[in-house]
Homo-oligomer: A and B are copies of this chain.
Amino acid sequence: MRKRQIRKPGEHLIEVLATNLRAMRHAKGFSQEELAARCGLHRTYIGSVERGERNVTLSTLEVLASVLGVSVPELLTSRRPDDKRNSTD
């Protein structure tokens, strides 16, 4: 039987989002300021999401994903370093 722990709400996912947002923003070559402008958000808001300080809403996730060219599920899926899919980069 599989064990499943009830996590503290938000803690895990907020970290996954923070890590992915920063990585995907860098992959696009956007500064926080540029991403913010494209999303219609404030630069300091992007910074706070990347520091895992925000319990963001679905609509914000959708805008971020759209501007970054990914899906919201992708934005929320952990891409752990030991999960080697790309051997060459």
Contact = CB atoms under 8 A, between A and B. Distances in A.
Contacts of A7: 62, 66
A58 B9 CA distance: 8
Number of copies of chain A assembled together: 2
Task: Give the bracket for the number of chain A residues in contact with chain B.
Answer: 20 to 34
Given A55-B58, A57-B57, A13 B72 contact: yes
Nearest to A9: B59
Given A13-B72, A57-B58, 5 more contacts: A6-B63, A6-B66, A12-B62, A58-B61, A58-B76
Interface of A: 4, 6-7, 9-10, 12-14, 17, 55-63, 66-67, 69, 71-74, 76-77
